[in-house]
Amino acid sequence: LQIKPVNKGIQLPQIFKEKGIQQKTHEKFEKEFGGKVFYVFSSSLNRKKVIMNPEVIEEIRAEISRLEQ
């Protein structure tokens, strides 16, 4: 899991640039360990951390199920 804070000082384009740079490392991880790398974007809302891309939770669950088989 890559947990990335998305707040006023953090720009999404920078995060996606980093994701592109890390792509080969993620591919190596997937080849070596058989699992995928997921990005979770979090932000603060009313002093609580909120996942900004909640759809990733189901993707993570599906990957865990796949790995358990």
Q: What is the pLDDT of residue 37?
A: 94
CA 32 – CA 10 distance, rounded (Å): 31
The pTM assigned to this predicted structure is: 0.76
Helices (H) and strands (E) in the chain, counts: 3, 3
Q: What is the pLDDT of residue 10?
A: 64
Q: Which two tokens stand for residue 11?
A: 């720009």
Q: How confident is the model at residue 18 (pLDDT cuts 50, 70, 90)?
A: confident
The total domain count for the chain is 1
CA 56 – CA 62 distance, rounded (Å): 10
In the predicted model, what is the mean pLDDT of the chain?
88
- Which residues 6+ apart lie within 8 Å of 28 measured at CB? none
Q: Which two tokens stand for residue 29?
A: 């991880």
Name which residue leads in pLDDT, 25 or 9: 25
**Could you list the residue range(s) of the whole structural domain that residue 21 is in?**
2-68
